[in-house]
Amino acid sequence: MTEILILVLLILISIIAAIYAVLTKKTINAVIASGVISLMASIIFLLVAAPDVAMTEATIGAGLTTVVFLYALKHVKGGEDD
């Protein structure tokens, strides 16, 4: 019961954040939403008993992707709005 409840909550949050990341106007908000999706995916991997995949997802999603996206966004001219 408990595992089903937390899985439903995490998957709902992940889907809503993905829809928000597509629909938003500012690019920085989409980058932050991708951070939320990677956080939820990491806990889902942990719930299905795969801690190594969860650790890799946390490293790539929270650390590398955010920094690389922001670095690229800084070097694109006029990249603040769409």
Partner 1 sequence: MDSLSLIIYNMAYYIAMLALAIAFVRFLMGPSSVDRVLALDTMTICSIALIIFIAMYAGRIIYIDVALVYALLSFLGVIAVARYLEGGL
Binding residues for partner 1 (CB under 8 A): 2, 5-6, 9, 13, 16-17, 20, 26, 28-29, 31-33, 35-36, 39, 42-43, 46-47, 49, 51, 54-55, 58-59, 62-63, 66-67, 70-71, 73-74
Nearer to partner 1, 71 or 82 (CB): 71
27-47 helix and 51-58 helix, angle to the nearest 10 degrees = 170
Residues 26 and 77: their CA atoms lie apart, in Å, by 14
Minimum distance from residue 82 beta carbon to partner 1 (Å) = 15
Residues 6 and 12: their CA atoms lie apart, in Å, by 10
